[in-house]
Amino acid sequence: MAELLILLTIGLPWLGALFCWAAGDRHPRLQHGLAVAFSLAAGIAALLLIPFGKDQVLITLSVGGAFGNFTFSPDGLGVFLAAVATVIGSLAVIFSVDYMRSEDQLGRYYAFVLFFIGAMVGLVLTTNLLLMFAFWEITALTSYALISFHNDDLKAVAGGIKALIITQFGGLGLLIGALVLFANTGSYDILTIIANPGILPAGALAWMAFGCLAAGAAKSAQFPFQTWLPDAMEAPTPVSALIHAATMVNAGVYLLARFFPAFEGVPGWREAVMAVGMLSALLAAVMAIFATDLKRVLAYSTVSQLGYMVYAVGAGGIFAAQFHLLSHSVFKALLFLGAGAVIHSVGTRDMRQMGGLGKNMPFVRLVFVIGALALAGLPVLNGFWSKELILEAGLAHGNPLWMLFVMLVVSGLTAFYSFRMVWLVFYGQPRAELHAHDAGPAMKVALAPLAIGTLTTWLLAGSFSRLLSESLPAHQIAAHSTGEILLEVLTAPITLIALLVIALGLVCWWQRDRLAGVKRALTGLQITATNSFGFEAVNRAVVLGAQNSAEKLRSTQTGVLGWNVAYLVIALIGVLAILLLGVGLP
């Protein structure tokens, strides 16, 4: 049964991708219908899979040789993320029915969205590191294809290629990890290495650990690879919600959490993970404060929230990280889709032109505010509970307190930019003549469950902890009931402190006119932040460097026959010299 469900969850979206593509762009209604049907079916299959969560390999496809065996196992981490991917995936597809109504080339759009959903499920359910890397790359491929879906727009193309190249560059870390594992153990099996990291020599394990950190950071848009995510906002908004907020960017966190038992003993690894998370959370939050593009604010906040999760993994709070991942997937998908409804309605992403939209879009305002409050970490929304758990994890294990302090500050910043965003879009006086209308029916169908989820998913804490604890023995996650977890959060002193900081953030926005002096003092910071703290300059330098050296190298192709012959003679002399002088006779 579970075997069949695994195959269905991966296979159905892929089959759907094929059908949507084959249906042809002359039948948009059929394409919408097929996409919704297949993604919903996959979602149901994934939900049915949850009760089967355990750490056993259920499917083994024997490929052999350098490729190992393709294995799949539905453990807690896997089924939970598979469910998130397919459920939010189907909501994004439903949302697209309205959002993409008048678009061309729907076949390509749905094919890649569905291809992505299947690949994401495969990525979290497989226990073969080669296969994981392959799925990892497929998600990168689909992400690239969807970011530059509007190929005529040069910005979209550039954003897509940037995302592809940066995640691939980081992905080399995972490649190295997988190769190290195979070279030392002759297999790609993840469960073995997690259960018994000692089978790798310490040096090899360190290479693997830091390689995975690089890969995870690139995928989850963490420091120092964070720059691709804001540019990825050129994608159609449902794609941003699905891939760049709720699912693919979580793959990095998933990778680190998955391998935590194997890598926690590597000297410096946990500290490095915490530092990456903390820096990402801080830098992105500051950038979110100054950004004016609605989707970019959301993108920065995604980087920042992912930073929380990465920090939590480093701090040893696997449960906290995964629980926040769940909350974040729901409320951030909600925020993105809500933003999509706004953008679809008014035709701009610039918040400076919005304002007062709430009057005409009451439904969207309602759900967006719910999402924003969860992002800010206000009780009793899901974001509150999971964020508090992360901060608590920061206290444990003798983790450095100054990092925890930074994370607390970031939660204040988060509250600040959340309120700013809501205010600029929905409240105040309209700043431009925009004709807003409320969300369409399919959009509402997608938004409502997410809003309800934002209000309620924290109630799942108990069963979620039981699922992880039972199916991930190596992670040593303790099972608690929901009541216990909630009580623990409510009685922890750090919760109070965090709430005070969040309130402070709120007050700062409220009293922003009185803080004009502070704002002036921060002009320098604003300029640095809008210039992405110099990371974009580094990116540009790398690209320019490659292009310039390529252009210079091209002059070696002279087109003159005499030179071509000369190269040949020089090469002959060179090889002779190397052989006779250098490596020579044995």
Partner 1 sequence: MTISIPTAVLIIVLGLVGIGIYALLTTRHLIKVIVALQLLVKGAMLALVLAGHLTGQDDLGQSLAITVIIADTIVAVIGMALAVQVRRVVGTLDLRSLTSLRR
Partner 2 sequence: MTANTAFLLAVGLPVAASPVIYLIGRIAERKNPKIDLARWLALLILLADGYFLFIAGSEFLTTHHELLVSIGAVSLRLDGIALLLAIAVLALGTLVTMFSGPAIARDSGRETYFALLTAMIGTMIGLGAADDLFNLWVWFECMALCSYVLVAFHRNEAAALEAGVKYLVQSALGTVLVLLAIGLVFTNTGSLDLDEIRVAAQPSGLMLAAGALFIIGFGVKSALVPLHTWLPDAHSQAPSGISAMLSGVVIEAGLVAMLRALGALHLVTVSWGALLLGFAAVNMLVGNLMALRQTQVKRLLAYSSLSHMGYILLGVGAGAVIGSEYSAAGGFFHILTHAMMKGLAFLAAGALLYCLHQANDNHNPLVVDDLNGASRKYPLTAFAFSVAVLGLGGLPPLAGFMSKWQIFVGGFQTGNAWIIALVVFAGLNSVLSLGYYAPLVNRLYRRQPAEIVEQGKPMPVLMTVTMVILSLGVVVLGFWPSLADWLTGPAAQSLLMLFGG
Report the interface residues with partner 2, using CB under 8 A. 63-67, 104-105, 108, 130, 134-135, 137-138, 140-141, 144, 148, 150-152, 157, 160-161, 164-165, 168-169, 172, 175-176, 179-180, 182-183, 546-547, 549-551, 553-554, 556-557, 559, 561, 563-565, 567-568, 570-572, 575-576, 578-580, 583-586
569 lies in the binding site for partner 1 (CB under 8 A): yes
Least Å distance between CB 106 and partner 1? 41
Q: Does 62 bind partner 1 (CB under 8 A)?
A: no
Question: Can residue 429 be called a binding residue for partner 1 (CB under 8 A)?
Answer: no
- Out of 183, 396, 521, 566, the only residue in the binding site for partner 1 (CB under 8 A) is 566
Q: How far is the CB of 563 from partner 1 (least distance, A)?
A: 9
For 425-455, letters b (16+ CB in 10 Å) and e give bbbeeeeeebebeebbebbbbbbbbbbebbb
Q: Which of 62, 511, 523, 557 binds partner 1 (CB under 8 A)?
A: 557
Q: Considering the complex, what minimum distance in angstroms separates the CB of residue 221 from partner 2?
A: 17
C-alpha distances in Å from residue 540, one per residue of 225, 250, 552: 13, 26, 18
Residue 472 corresponds to which amino acid?
A: L
567 binds, among partner 1, partner 2, none (CB under 5 to 8 A by kind): partner 2
Residue selected from 102, 186, 203, 561 as contacting partner 1 according to rule CB under 8 A: 561
Which partner, partner 2, partner 1, none, binds residue 527 by CB below 5 to 8 Å per kind? none
**Binding-site partner at residue 160 among partner 2, partner 1, none, CB < 5 to 8 Å by type:** partner 2
Which of the 8 DSSP states describes residue 199? G
Number of residues that bind partner 1 (CB under 8 A): 11
Among 268, 558, 574, 578, binds partner 1 (CB under 8 A): 558
Q: Select 131 or 374, whichever has its Cβ closest to partner 2.
A: 131
Beta bridge partners of 69: 62
Are 401 and 488 in contact by the 8 Å Cβ rule? The answer is no
Cα–Cα distance for residue pair 515/512, rounded to 1 Å = 5
Alpha carbon distance 375, 390 (integer Å) = 14
The item of partner 1, partner 2, none sharing an interface with residue 144, based on CB under 5 to 8 Å by kind, is partner 2
User: Cβ 562 to partner 1, closest distance in Å?
Assistant: 5
Which of positions 28-47 make contact with partner 1 (CB under 8 A)?
none
| Binds partner 1 by CB under 8 A, chosen from 433, 516, 555, 581 | 555
Long-range contacts of 489-498 (CB under 8 A, 24+ apart): 489/385, 489/388, 489/389, 489/392, 492/388, 492/392, 494/388, 494/391, 494/392, 494/395, 495/388, 495/391, 495/392, 497/408, 498/377, 498/387, 498/388, 498/391, 498/408, 498/411
Q: Does 586 sit near partner 1 (CB under 8 A)?
A: no
Nearest Cα residue to 73 out of 117, 129, 138:
129
H/E run at residue 58: none
Is 61 within 8 Å of 69 (Cβ atoms)? yes
Task: Return the one option of partner 2, partner 1, none that residue 583 interacts with (CB less than 5 to 8 A, by type).
Answer: partner 2
Centroid of chain to Cα 490: 29
Sign of the Cα pseudo-torsion (534, 535, 536, 541, in order): positive
In the complex, least distance from residue 67 CB atom to partner 1, rounded to whole angstroms: 40
User: Phi-psi region for residue 106, left (φ > 0), alpha (ψ -120 to 50) or beta?
Assistant: alpha
Shortest Å distance, C-beta 41 to partner 2: 22
578 binds, among partner 2, partner 1, none (CB under 5 to 8 A by kind): partner 2
Q: How far is the CB of 571 from partner 1 (least distance, A)?
A: 13
Q: How far is the CB of 538 from partner 2 (least distance, A)?
A: 16
Whether the CB-CB separation of 429 and 355 falls below 8 Å is answered with: yes
Residues 6+ apart with CB under 8 A from 271: 314, 400
> Considering beta carbons, is residue 180 or 294 the nearer one to partner 2?
180
* ∠ CA 18-21-25, rounded to 5°: 160
Residue 71, helix vs strand vs coil: strand
Pick the binder of partner 1 from 66, 516, 560, 581 (CB under 8 A). 560
559 binds partner 1 (CB under 8 A): yes
* Pairwise CA distance, residues 391 & 407, whole Å: 8
CB of 66 to partner 2, least distance (A): 4
Q: CB under 8 A: which stretch of 8-16, 238-246, 325-333, 555-563 binds partner 1? A: 555-563
Of 138 and 455, CB closest to partner 2: 138
Residue 513 contact among partner 1, partner 2, none, beta carbon within 5 to 8 Å by kind: none
Q: Which residues contact 366 (CB under 8 A, 6 or more apart)?
A: 451
Q: In the complex with partner 1, which residue's Cβ is closer, 347 or 574?
A: 574
| Sequence-ordered strand ranges (E) for 13-156 | 59-62, 69-72
Task: Note the residues at the interface with partner 1 (CB under 8 A).
Answer: 554-555, 557-562, 565-566, 569
